Structure 1
Amino acid sequence: MNSIRLNRNLRVISLPMYDVWHPATLALTGELARRLQRRGFTEQQTRVVWPDDLVGHWQSQELLLSQTCGYPLVTLLDSVRTIGCFHYTAAGCQDYRYRSLYVVRDTDRQRTVADFFGQRLVCNSADSQSGYNVWVRRLTEQRSSITEFFSEVHFSGGHRQSLMALQQQTADITAVDCVSLALFSHYHPQWLHGLSVIEQSPLTPGLPLIASAQVTDQQVQLLRQTLTELVADPLNQPLCAPLFIGGFSEISREAYQGLIPTDRSLP
């Protein structure tokens, strides 16, 4: 196949969001790059990277394809193009949608979220749908806010660190998306030792796959076709199954507009 007309700004792809077991992420990303090259993208356009600065990476004009969170998509990334969303097979997922799970210590007597009024919340980060905005939306619907409901709010830097805070008893409750929790349980069950899920959130669209605004309509269609074929090919099941990937849907930005909060009460 002839190469896609080279836009020299487009240079990188990544799948950084669920990199719990790196060999599995590396294998799938490598196959994705090879399939894009067979579609006509060049090696220069499909360089796999592992970014430290995720927001900067997602905002880069070099970005051919990456995966972000729905909350940054609607609050920080107004110029990127939305390609679609993987379907995950983890418990709690449904088609392209996922949900958060509310996690506490096994030894806590409180067994509903309402029981944790006045307790200590830990979130992964303030730009996370599954770990932070899920609380903003839930408490706003109850005419409350994070700072009114909880006595303390901490930001840990990641879902793994939030679970550690529960285990170390420096926080009392957290929210973790069901895909992360499934991956943790499968690859690192000790990360969940002494913890349990007490409730779950409503379904929301899962983590969107995005591209730079520099990507053309033709390239968007080729990306979508490649992702569809990647997950549908039975030969790729050994690559997709370890990451709980079971499908792909073309999703527009509009599907994520419901994530925009009506309240941004920060501690």
Structure 2
Amino acid sequence: MIASLPMYDRPETRAATDQLWHLVREELGYGPKTLSRRQDPWADWQSPELMLSQTCGLPYRTRLRGRVALVGTPDFALEGCPPGYYHSILVVRRDAQGARLADFTAQRFAYNDPASQSGWAAPAAYAKAQGLRITDPIQTGGHAASARAVAEGRADIAAIDAQSWRLMQRHDAFAARLRVLCKTWPTPGLPCITAIAHDRAPIRTALRRAIAALDDEARSALCLHALIDIPEAAYLAVPTPAAPAAAQRANGHISG
């Protein structure tokens, strides 16, 4: 079996993430001893041996639906969001001129991946609703890389999911060189999943109990409060914009 919790797994949170997994495993009485930490999570997400992982809403609705089952959505108690929901934070350099998204849509836009809800789909939909369009996208491969690109002047604006931004403010010195321009609307957060053939009920129960059993240090490190049941329909209702132009030329479709 395979287990992974890749979405907010960084050096400063690794011990807490491992604690969470060990508690899940103790509750279930089975499962791999350690988490998979592959560079590319798609191999885990698409494996029939997947016991537990965390993905993003966009990959779920475009590629994983029907191959995985929703276990539940972690709640990080993000300001302005219902339980289990999140939004994107659009950041620019602290000294950048401009106070509206319209001031930046023609500038260099750093995004992590065309299959990211928070890094691409949410800001693209948010811009479209205002009659705007992102015209100069630059793919970076990760939220931290996108934020760093803006801080270092290699891009002008980036969309970072709110939990990633919270962790960057805690742990990354470059975050002090950035300011929040605006926030997108809340959408369902990053769901935990299991392979479609598995019984998700005991995994959901184990994960819920494990979250409740985290010690104070691990809970603070992860900002993790609860597991929320968000229906599949809520994920499928989120609009999926076209992939960035560069990704369309390279792939022909949204991919990981």
On the 8 A contact 2:111/2:137 being kept in 1, the answer is yes
Match of 2:208 among 228, 231, 237: 228
Q: Which has the larger radius of gyration?
A: 1
- Tell me, which stretches of 5 or more residues in structure 2 are unaligned? 247-256
1:187 corresponds to: 171
2:60 corresponds to: 73
Match runs of 1:38-53 below 5 Å: 38-40=27-29, 42-44=30-32, 47-53=34-40
- Tell me, which stretches of 5 or more residues in structure 1 are unaligned? 1-10
Distance 1:129 1:116 in 2: 20
Amino acid corresponding to residue 14 of structure 1 in structure 2: S
Distance 1:101 1:170 in 2: 18
**When the two structures are aligned, how many residues end up with a matched partner?**
245
User: Which contiguous aligned blocks of 4+ residues in structure 1 show a shift greater than 6 angstroms?
Assistant: none
Displacement of 1:265: 5.1
Match of 2:139 among 155, 164, 172: 155
2:67 is aligned with 1:83: no
2:43 is aligned with 1:59: no
Displacement of 1:77: 0.7
**Deviations 1:187-241 (Å, cap 9, x if unpaired)?**
22x121311001111111111000111212xxx11111112212223x5333222
1:198/1:139 Cα in 2 relative to 1: closer, same or farther (>3 Å)? closer
1:92/1:18 Cα in 2 relative to 1: closer, same or farther (>3 Å)? farther
Displacement of 1:262: 4.8
Distance 1:111 1:119 in 2: 14
Match of 1:135 among 123, 126, 129: 123
Distance 2:95 2:3 in 1: 43
Displacement of 1:65: 0.2
1:251 corresponds to: 230
Identity %: 29
2:189 corresponds to: 206
Distance 1:31 1:141 in 2: 39
Amino acid corresponding to residue 166 of structure 1 in structure 2: V
- TM-score, structure 2 length as denominator? 0.87
- TM-score, structure 1 length as denominator? 0.84
1:236/1:93 Cα in 2 relative to 1: closer, same or farther (>3 Å)? farther
On the 8 A contact 2:126/2:185 being kept in 1, the answer is no
- Over the aligned positions, Cα root-mean-square deviation in angstroms equals 2.0
